[in-house]
Protein backbone atom coordinates (compact mmCIF):
# COMPACT_ATOMS: atom_id res chain seq x y z
CA UNK A 1 0.00 0.00 0.00
CA UNK A 2 1.52 3.38 -0.95
CA UNK A 3 2.30 5.90 1.74
CA UNK A 4 0.03 8.95 1.98
CA UNK A 5 1.40 12.39 2.85
CA UNK A 6 4.66 10.82 4.02
CA UNK A 7 2.93 8.85 6.78
CA UNK A 8 3.13 5.16 7.49
CA UNK A 9 0.50 3.25 5.47
CA UNK A 10 -2.67 2.27 7.24
CA UNK A 11 -6.14 1.06 6.18
CA UNK A 12 -8.40 3.97 5.35
CA UNK A 13 -12.06 4.75 5.86
CA UNK A 14 -12.42 5.26 2.11
CA UNK A 15 -10.87 1.86 1.36
CA UNK A 16 -13.19 0.12 3.78
CA UNK A 17 -16.17 2.03 2.40
CA UNK A 18 -15.17 1.13 -1.18
CA UNK A 19 -14.97 -2.53 -0.19
CA UNK A 20 -18.54 -2.37 1.11
CA UNK A 21 -19.64 -0.81 -2.18
CA UNK A 22 -17.86 -3.51 -4.20
CA UNK A 23 -19.45 -6.30 -2.18
CA UNK A 24 -22.92 -4.78 -2.51
CA UNK A 25 -23.30 -4.09 1.21
CA UNK A 26 -23.86 -0.38 0.56
CA UNK A 27 -24.74 1.75 -2.45
CA UNK A 28 -22.06 4.13 -3.68
CA UNK A 29 -22.78 7.67 -2.50
CA UNK A 30 -20.53 10.58 -3.44
CA UNK A 31 -21.42 12.50 -0.29
CA UNK A 32 -20.46 9.55 1.90
CA UNK A 33 -17.16 9.28 0.04
CA UNK A 34 -16.52 12.98 0.74
CA UNK A 35 -16.99 12.41 4.48
CA UNK A 36 -14.81 9.28 4.33
CA UNK A 37 -11.98 11.35 2.85
CA UNK A 38 -12.38 13.98 5.58
CA UNK A 39 -12.20 11.27 8.25
CA UNK A 40 -9.03 9.88 6.63
CA UNK A 41 -7.45 13.35 6.68
CA UNK A 42 -8.26 13.53 10.37
CA UNK A 43 -6.68 10.12 11.00
CA UNK A 44 -3.54 11.36 9.23
CA UNK A 45 -3.43 14.49 11.40
CA UNK A 46 -3.83 12.45 14.58
CA UNK A 47 -1.08 10.01 13.55
CA UNK A 48 1.22 12.89 12.61
CA UNK A 49 0.81 14.42 16.06
CA UNK A 50 1.52 11.10 17.73
CA UNK A 51 4.68 10.69 15.67
CA UNK A 52 5.79 14.21 16.52
CA UNK A 53 5.14 13.60 20.20
CA UNK A 54 7.29 10.45 20.16
CA UNK A 55 10.02 11.90 17.96
CA UNK A 56 12.52 12.19 20.80
CA UNK A 57 13.41 10.14 23.84
CA UNK A 58 12.09 12.94 26.04
CA UNK A 59 9.01 13.55 23.89
CA UNK A 60 6.66 12.01 26.41
CA UNK A 61 7.73 14.52 29.04
CA UNK A 62 6.49 17.39 26.91
CA UNK A 63 3.60 15.70 25.14
CA UNK A 64 0.89 17.39 27.15
CA UNK A 65 2.37 20.88 26.55
CA UNK A 66 2.76 20.25 22.84
CA UNK A 67 -0.79 18.96 22.53
CA UNK A 68 -2.26 22.11 24.06
CA UNK A 69 -0.43 24.28 21.51
CA UNK A 70 -0.96 22.14 18.42
CA UNK A 71 -4.68 21.55 18.41
CA UNK A 72 -6.24 19.35 15.77
CA UNK A 73 -9.62 20.37 14.45
CA UNK A 74 -12.06 17.52 14.84
CA UNK A 75 -15.11 16.85 12.71
CA UNK A 76 -18.84 17.48 13.24
CA UNK A 77 -20.98 15.82 10.56
CA UNK A 78 -24.69 16.59 10.41
CA UNK A 79 -27.47 15.59 8.06
CA UNK A 80 -30.71 13.70 7.69
CA UNK A 81 -31.44 10.36 9.28
CA UNK A 82 -30.30 7.13 7.67
CA UNK A 83 -27.55 8.79 5.60
CA UNK A 84 -24.70 6.63 6.93
CA UNK A 85 -23.16 9.01 9.48
CA UNK A 86 -22.92 6.33 12.16
CA UNK A 87 -21.46 3.78 9.74
CA UNK A 88 -18.69 6.17 8.70
CA UNK A 89 -17.85 7.26 12.23
CA UNK A 90 -17.67 3.63 13.36
CA UNK A 91 -15.19 2.93 10.55
CA UNK A 92 -13.13 5.93 11.67
CA UNK A 93 -13.12 4.77 15.29
CA UNK A 94 -12.22 1.20 14.35
CA UNK A 95 -9.34 2.25 12.09
CA UNK A 96 -7.92 5.00 14.31
CA UNK A 97 -4.62 3.62 15.70
CA UNK A 98 -4.90 5.41 19.03
CA UNK A 99 -5.20 3.69 22.40
CA UNK A 100 -6.72 6.60 24.30
CA UNK A 101 -9.94 6.93 22.33
CA UNK A 102 -13.54 6.72 23.44
CA UNK A 103 -16.79 6.21 21.56
CA UNK A 104 -19.64 6.92 23.89
CA UNK A 105 -23.31 7.84 23.88
CA UNK A 106 -23.55 11.54 24.69
CA UNK A 107 -25.96 10.89 27.57
CA UNK A 108 -23.52 8.37 29.09
CA UNK A 109 -20.71 10.88 28.75
CA UNK A 110 -22.61 13.73 30.39
CA UNK A 111 -23.81 11.47 33.23
CA UNK A 112 -20.15 10.65 33.86
CA UNK A 113 -19.25 14.36 33.75
CA UNK A 114 -21.94 15.30 36.27
CA UNK A 115 -20.79 12.47 38.58
CA UNK A 116 -17.20 13.72 38.40
CA UNK A 117 -18.29 17.29 39.12
CA UNK A 118 -20.30 16.14 42.14
CA UNK A 119 -17.34 14.12 43.46
CA UNK A 120 -14.98 17.07 43.04
CA UNK A 121 -17.35 19.39 44.90
CA UNK A 122 -17.63 16.89 47.74
CA UNK A 123 -13.85 16.52 47.85
CA UNK A 124 -13.48 20.32 47.93
CA UNK A 125 -15.96 20.46 50.79
CA UNK A 126 -13.89 17.85 52.65
CA UNK A 127 -10.69 19.76 51.92
CA UNK A 128 -8.99 16.98 49.93
CA UNK A 129 -8.69 19.08 46.77
CA UNK A 130 -7.88 22.78 46.39
CA UNK A 131 -9.55 23.87 43.14
CA UNK A 132 -12.94 25.53 43.62
CA UNK A 133 -13.92 25.18 39.96
CA UNK A 134 -14.54 21.49 39.10
CA UNK A 135 -14.44 21.92 35.32
CA UNK A 136 -10.63 22.10 34.77
CA UNK A 137 -9.77 19.00 36.87
CA UNK A 138 -12.67 17.05 35.35
CA UNK A 139 -11.49 18.00 31.85
CA UNK A 140 -7.92 16.96 32.69
CA UNK A 141 -9.07 13.58 33.98
CA UNK A 142 -11.24 12.97 30.91
CA UNK A 143 -8.38 13.95 28.59
CA UNK A 144 -6.03 11.56 30.40
CA UNK A 145 -8.43 8.71 29.65
CA UNK A 146 -9.14 9.62 26.02
CA UNK A 147 -7.87 12.37 23.77
CA UNK A 148 -10.13 11.39 20.86
CA UNK A 149 -13.84 11.51 21.72
CA UNK A 150 -16.51 10.17 19.36
CA UNK A 151 -20.20 10.97 19.86
CA UNK A 152 -22.91 9.53 17.62
CA UNK A 153 -26.07 11.62 17.08
CA UNK A 154 -24.90 14.50 19.24
CA UNK A 155 -27.87 16.37 20.69
CA UNK A 156 -28.49 18.61 23.68
CA UNK A 157 -31.85 18.52 25.45
CA UNK A 158 -30.95 18.77 29.13
CA UNK A 159 -30.53 22.24 30.62
CA UNK A 160 -27.92 20.97 33.11
CA UNK A 161 -25.81 19.74 30.18
CA UNK A 162 -26.37 22.89 28.16
CA UNK A 163 -25.16 25.15 30.95
CA UNK A 164 -21.72 23.54 31.26
CA UNK A 165 -20.94 22.47 27.69
CA UNK A 166 -19.11 25.62 26.61
CA UNK A 167 -16.75 25.68 29.60
CA UNK A 168 -16.31 21.90 29.61
CA UNK A 169 -15.38 21.60 25.94
CA UNK A 170 -13.23 24.72 26.01
CA UNK A 171 -11.24 22.98 28.74
CA UNK A 172 -11.18 19.66 26.85
CA UNK A 173 -9.97 21.31 23.65
CA UNK A 174 -7.30 23.16 25.63
CA UNK A 175 -6.14 19.74 26.83
CA UNK A 176 -5.73 18.63 23.21
CA UNK A 177 -8.90 16.53 22.96
CA UNK A 178 -10.16 15.90 19.41
CA UNK A 179 -13.93 15.68 18.94
CA UNK A 180 -15.67 13.66 16.23
CA UNK A 181 -19.45 13.85 16.29
CA UNK A 182 -22.46 13.12 14.14
CA UNK A 183 -25.80 14.84 14.47
CA UNK A 184 -28.99 15.36 12.53
CA UNK A 185 -28.94 19.10 13.25
CA UNK A 186 -26.51 21.87 12.34
CA UNK A 187 -24.56 23.32 15.28
CA UNK A 188 -26.65 26.49 15.26
CA UNK A 189 -29.78 24.38 15.84
CA UNK A 190 -28.45 22.55 18.89
CA UNK A 191 -30.55 23.18 22.01
CA UNK A 192 -32.92 25.22 19.87
CA UNK A 193 -35.81 26.65 21.94
CA UNK A 194 -34.06 25.45 25.12
CA UNK A 195 -34.31 27.30 28.41
CA UNK A 196 -31.64 29.98 28.90
CA UNK A 197 -30.27 29.20 25.43
CA UNK A 198 -28.22 32.38 25.50
CA UNK A 199 -25.92 30.73 28.03
CA UNK A 200 -25.45 27.81 25.64
CA UNK A 201 -24.56 29.84 22.54
CA UNK A 202 -20.82 30.18 23.37
CA UNK A 203 -20.57 26.40 22.96
CA UNK A 204 -21.56 26.71 19.30
CA UNK A 205 -18.67 29.13 18.72
CA UNK A 206 -16.30 26.85 20.63
CA UNK A 207 -17.42 23.87 18.55
CA UNK A 208 -17.00 25.74 15.27
CA UNK A 209 -13.44 26.79 16.17
CA UNK A 210 -12.39 23.28 17.12
CA UNK A 211 -14.19 21.07 14.62
CA UNK A 212 -14.72 21.20 10.88
CA UNK A 213 -18.47 21.36 10.22
CA UNK A 214 -19.62 19.18 7.34
CA UNK A 215 -23.05 18.18 6.11
CA UNK A 216 -24.04 14.73 4.87
CA UNK A 217 -27.46 15.20 3.40
CA UNK A 218 -29.52 13.92 0.53
CA UNK A 219 -32.83 12.26 -0.26
CA UNK A 220 -31.96 8.67 0.58
CA UNK A 221 -32.62 7.11 3.99
CA UNK A 222 -30.71 3.85 3.59
CA UNK A 223 -32.31 2.37 6.70
CA UNK A 224 -35.70 2.42 5.01
CA UNK A 225 -34.43 0.66 1.89
CA UNK A 226 -33.71 -2.60 3.69
CA UNK A 227 -36.69 -2.76 5.99
CA UNK A 228 -38.30 -6.17 6.36
CA UNK A 229 -40.40 -5.34 9.37
CA UNK A 230 -41.51 -7.75 12.06
CA UNK A 231 -44.40 -7.27 14.46
CA UNK A 232 -42.73 -5.54 17.37
CA UNK A 233 -44.55 -2.22 16.80
CA UNK A 234 -48.33 -2.59 17.03
CA UNK A 235 -50.98 -0.09 16.01
CA UNK A 236 -53.52 1.13 16.82
CA UNK A 237 -53.95 0.90 20.57
CA UNK A 238 -56.83 -1.49 21.06
CA UNK A 239 -57.86 -4.59 23.04
CA UNK A 240 -56.45 -6.66 20.18
CA UNK A 241 -53.02 -5.01 20.36
CA UNK A 242 -53.06 -5.26 24.17
CA UNK A 243 -53.72 -8.98 23.82
CA UNK A 244 -50.92 -9.34 21.29
CA UNK A 245 -48.52 -7.46 23.60
CA UNK A 246 -49.45 -9.86 26.41
CA UNK A 247 -48.79 -12.83 24.13
CA UNK A 248 -45.40 -11.49 23.09
CA UNK A 249 -44.50 -10.83 26.72
CA UNK A 250 -45.29 -14.45 27.55
CA UNK A 251 -43.18 -15.58 24.60
CA UNK A 252 -40.18 -13.36 25.41
CA UNK A 253 -40.20 -14.31 29.09
CA UNK A 254 -40.80 -18.01 28.27
CA UNK A 255 -43.72 -18.03 30.67
CA UNK A 256 -41.50 -17.33 33.67
CA UNK A 257 -43.01 -15.42 36.60
CA UNK A 258 -43.21 -11.65 36.18
CA UNK A 259 -43.34 -9.17 39.03
CA UNK A 260 -42.61 -5.53 39.83
CA UNK A 261 -39.02 -4.57 40.55
CA UNK A 262 -36.96 -1.55 41.60
CA UNK A 263 -33.71 -0.11 40.33
CA UNK A 264 -31.63 2.22 42.48
CA UNK A 265 -30.11 5.10 40.53
CA UNK A 266 -28.01 7.26 42.83
CA UNK A 267 -30.45 7.95 45.66
CA UNK A 268 -33.57 7.46 43.56
CA UNK A 269 -35.63 4.33 43.06
CA UNK A 270 -36.99 3.62 39.59
CA UNK A 271 -40.03 1.41 39.65
CA UNK A 272 -40.25 -1.35 37.04
CA UNK A 273 -43.96 -2.23 36.75
CA UNK A 274 -43.24 -5.72 35.41
CA UNK A 275 -39.96 -7.59 35.03
CA UNK A 276 -38.82 -11.09 34.24
CA UNK A 277 -35.21 -12.09 33.59
CA UNK A 278 -33.70 -9.55 31.19
CA UNK A 279 -37.07 -8.13 30.10
CA UNK A 280 -39.00 -5.19 31.54
CA UNK A 281 -42.45 -3.84 30.73
CA UNK A 282 -43.72 -0.29 31.10
CA UNK A 283 -46.62 1.86 30.08
CA UNK A 284 -45.68 5.05 28.23
CA UNK A 285 -46.83 6.99 31.30
CA UNK A 286 -44.33 5.09 33.48
CA UNK A 287 -41.36 5.94 31.28
CA UNK A 288 -42.12 9.31 29.75
CA UNK A 289 -44.66 11.17 31.86
CA UNK A 290 -42.75 10.68 35.10
CA UNK A 291 -39.65 12.79 35.88
CA UNK A 292 -37.10 10.34 34.50
CA UNK A 293 -33.99 11.36 32.58
CA UNK A 294 -31.16 9.81 30.59
CA UNK A 295 -29.49 8.47 33.74
CA UNK A 296 -32.55 6.40 34.62
CA UNK A 297 -32.95 5.12 31.06
CA UNK A 298 -29.29 4.10 30.99
CA UNK A 299 -29.74 2.19 34.24
CA UNK A 300 -32.79 0.40 32.83
CA UNK A 301 -30.91 -0.68 29.70
CA UNK A 302 -27.94 -1.77 31.82
CA UNK A 303 -30.24 -4.22 33.56
CA UNK A 304 -32.72 -5.15 30.81
CA UNK A 305 -32.11 -5.78 27.11
CA UNK A 306 -35.76 -6.12 26.07
CA UNK A 307 -38.14 -3.26 26.82
CA UNK A 308 -41.91 -3.39 26.29
CA UNK A 309 -43.64 0.01 26.04
CA UNK A 310 -47.45 -0.03 26.01
CA UNK A 311 -49.79 2.73 24.84
CA UNK A 312 -47.57 5.34 23.18
CA UNK A 313 -49.95 8.19 22.25
CA UNK A 314 -49.70 10.73 19.45
CA UNK A 315 -47.14 13.18 20.79
CA UNK A 316 -48.77 16.61 20.58
CA UNK A 317 -47.62 19.97 22.05
CA UNK A 318 -49.31 19.26 25.38
CA UNK A 319 -46.85 16.36 25.83
CA UNK A 320 -43.66 18.34 25.14
CA UNK A 321 -41.71 17.03 28.15
CA UNK A 322 -42.88 13.49 27.52
CA UNK A 323 -41.85 13.85 23.87
CA UNK A 324 -38.34 14.94 24.89
CA UNK A 325 -38.07 11.94 27.21
CA UNK A 326 -39.30 9.57 24.49
CA UNK A 327 -36.65 10.90 22.08
CA UNK A 328 -33.91 10.33 24.67
CA UNK A 329 -35.30 6.89 25.55
CA UNK A 330 -35.30 5.70 21.94
CA UNK A 331 -31.80 7.10 21.41
CA UNK A 332 -30.54 5.07 24.35
CA UNK A 333 -32.38 1.89 23.35
CA UNK A 334 -30.95 2.23 19.87
CA UNK A 335 -27.41 2.96 21.04
CA UNK A 336 -27.52 0.01 23.46
CA UNK A 337 -28.89 -2.19 20.63
CA UNK A 338 -31.84 -3.22 22.77
CA UNK A 339 -35.03 -4.90 21.59
CA UNK A 340 -38.12 -2.71 21.90
CA UNK A 341 -41.70 -3.99 21.66
CA UNK A 342 -44.17 -1.12 21.40
CA UNK A 343 -47.89 -0.52 21.06
CA UNK A 344 -48.80 2.93 19.78
CA UNK A 345 -51.70 4.97 18.47
CA UNK A 346 -50.14 5.40 15.02
CA UNK A 347 -47.12 4.42 12.93
CA UNK A 348 -43.75 6.04 13.76
CA UNK A 349 -43.94 8.56 10.90
CA UNK A 350 -47.25 9.93 12.26
CA UNK A 351 -46.37 9.76 15.94
CA UNK A 352 -45.15 13.36 16.29
CA UNK A 353 -47.85 16.02 15.94
CA UNK A 354 -45.96 19.01 17.29
CA UNK A 355 -45.03 22.25 15.55
CA UNK A 356 -42.66 21.83 12.58
CA UNK A 357 -39.27 23.53 12.83
CA UNK A 358 -38.86 23.04 16.58
CA UNK A 359 -36.02 21.14 18.24
CA UNK A 360 -38.37 18.24 18.91
CA UNK A 361 -39.38 18.12 15.24
CA UNK A 362 -35.73 17.96 14.13
CA UNK A 363 -34.92 15.29 16.67
CA UNK A 364 -38.05 13.25 16.11
CA UNK A 365 -36.99 12.60 12.51
CA UNK A 366 -34.16 10.58 14.01
CA UNK A 367 -36.57 8.85 16.40
CA UNK A 368 -38.83 7.80 13.51
CA UNK A 369 -35.93 6.35 11.56
CA UNK A 370 -34.65 4.47 14.58
CA UNK A 371 -38.06 3.09 15.49
CA UNK A 372 -38.38 1.78 11.95
CA UNK A 373 -34.91 0.25 11.92
CA UNK A 374 -35.51 -1.42 15.28
CA UNK A 375 -38.40 -3.32 13.66
CA UNK A 376 -36.20 -4.75 10.92
CA UNK A 377 -35.37 -8.39 10.53
CA UNK A 378 -31.65 -7.51 10.52
CA UNK A 379 -31.89 -5.62 13.82
CA UNK A 380 -33.81 -8.37 15.62
CA UNK A 381 -31.64 -11.18 14.25
CA UNK A 382 -28.52 -9.33 15.41
CA UNK A 383 -30.12 -8.92 18.84
CA UNK A 384 -30.80 -12.66 19.07
CA UNK A 385 -27.23 -13.47 18.02
CA UNK A 386 -25.79 -11.18 20.71
CA UNK A 387 -28.10 -12.71 23.30
CA UNK A 388 -27.07 -16.25 22.31
CA UNK A 389 -23.37 -15.36 22.51
CA UNK A 390 -23.88 -13.75 25.91
CA UNK A 391 -25.73 -16.82 27.22
CA UNK A 392 -23.01 -19.14 25.91
CA UNK A 393 -20.33 -17.09 27.66
CA UNK A 394 -22.06 -17.25 31.04
Q: pTM of this prediction? A: 0.65
What are the structural domains, with CATH classification, of the chain?
13-215 (3.40.50.300), 226-393 (no CATH)
Q: How confident is the model at residue 60 (pLDDT cuts 50, 70, 90)?
A: very low
Residue 220 pLDDT exceeds 80: no
| Structure letter (DSSP) for residue 348 | G
Burial group, residue 149, by CB count within 10 angstroms (0-12, 13-18, 19+): buried
| Structure letter (DSSP) for residue 73 | -
Q: What is the mean pLDDT of the chain?
A: 86
Percent of the chain with pLDDT strictly greater than 90: 56
Q: How confident is the model at residue 2 (pLDDT cuts 50, 70, 90)?
A: very low
For residues 365-375, average pLDDT = 91
Q: How far apart are the first and last CA of the chain?
A: 42
Amino acid 57: pLDDT: 43
For residues 128-141, average pLDDT = 93
Q: Report yes or no: 305 and 332 within 8 Å, Cβ to Cβ.
A: no
Question: Computed over its alpha carbons, how large is the radius of gyration of the chain?
Answer: 22
For residues 129-135, average pLDDT = 91
Q: Report yes or no: 211 and 76 within 8 Å, Cβ to Cβ.
A: yes
Reported for 284-288, long-range contacts at CB under 8 A and 24+ positions apart, including other chains, are 284/309, 284/310, 284/311, 284/312, 284/313, 284/322, 284/326, 285/311, 287/325, 287/326, 287/329, 288/322, 288/323, 288/325, 288/326, 288/329
Amino acid 27: pLDDT: 84
For residues 149-169, average pLDDT = 89
Q: Report yes or no: 71 and 179 within 8 Å, Cβ to Cβ.
A: no
Amino acid 246: pLDDT: 93
pLDDT tens sequence across 91-112: 999 999 999 999 988 888 998 9
SS3 148: strand
Q: Report yes or no: 155 and 190 within 8 Å, Cβ to Cβ.
A: yes
Residue 4 pLDDT exceeds 50: no
Amino acid sequence: MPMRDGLEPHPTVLQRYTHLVQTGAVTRDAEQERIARALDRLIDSIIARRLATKSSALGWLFARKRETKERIKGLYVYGGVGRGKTMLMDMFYDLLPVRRKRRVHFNDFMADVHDRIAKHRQARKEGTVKEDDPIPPVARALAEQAWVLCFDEFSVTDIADAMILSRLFSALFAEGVVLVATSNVAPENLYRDGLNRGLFLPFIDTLSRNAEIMTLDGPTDYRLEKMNRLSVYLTPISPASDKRMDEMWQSVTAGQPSEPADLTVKTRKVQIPLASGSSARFDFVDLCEKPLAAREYLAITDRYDTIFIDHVPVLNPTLRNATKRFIVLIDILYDRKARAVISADVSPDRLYAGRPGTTEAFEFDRTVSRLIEMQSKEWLEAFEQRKSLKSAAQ
